Amino acid sequence: MSVQERKQRERAERERLIVATARELAEQQGWDAVTTRRLAERIEYSQPVLYSHFRGKREIIGAVALEGATEMAVAVRAATSAANSPRERVAALARAYLDFAERNPAVYDALFQLDGGLAYAQEDTPEPLKDAFAALLESLGEVAGDGVHPGLFTEVFWASLHGLATLSRAGRLLPEDAAQRVELLVDRLAVV
């Protein structure tokens, strides 16, 4: 291995450590607790080293969001792959999405609530974000209904899931009705 390759590998490992540490700290204490000073202390590197990887917290949030988008796409695809019908796929997708949001609140915030400097729904949208949307579209496109653009239907269904996730996390919805909400959403929106 050349010196250059070793340096690149070490740099990539430091970036992974920074992102993992930021994510861990955010999941434990919230994003307000994530500062470059605290991250530098936790990873035992100086702040200038941290800044050589990320210009600031915004870019770190973006890196966590991209990692989270990849994980969410994997979770959605895994959940829908075992389903035997379009309705089962949509219900599995909804449960997987809501479960992801509940299990990973800081990642979910990085993806959909905080400014990570990422472009959404544009040509320059990063590939992990496009793939996360594609994971939704794969199951939702088939139940959009006649004359309804599959991408538009996916956006509306996704917005509904996001609303449920956000309101549930804020304690605005009764937790015991969560399964009924998913069933109602699937039955009323999806043409199955």
Q: Identify the CA nearest to 61 among candidates 33, 103, 100, 96.
A: 33
Does the pLDDT of residue 76 top 90, yes or no? yes
Q: Residue 155, SS3?
A: helix
Task: Report whether 94 contacts 189 (CB < 8 A).
Answer: no
Task: Report whether 27 contacts 102 (CB < 8 A).
Answer: no
Q: Identify the CA nearest to 112 among candidates 127, 123, 97, 134.
A: 97
pTM of the model: 0.93
Q: pLDDT per residue over 146-185, tens digit each?
A: 999 999 999 999 999 999 999 999 999 999 999 999 999 9
Taking the C-alpha atoms of residue 126 and residue 119, their distance in angstroms, rounded to an integer, is: 7
Q: pLDDT per residue over 7-63, tens digit each?
A: 999 999 999 999 999 999 999 999 999 999 999 999 999 999 999 999 999 999 999
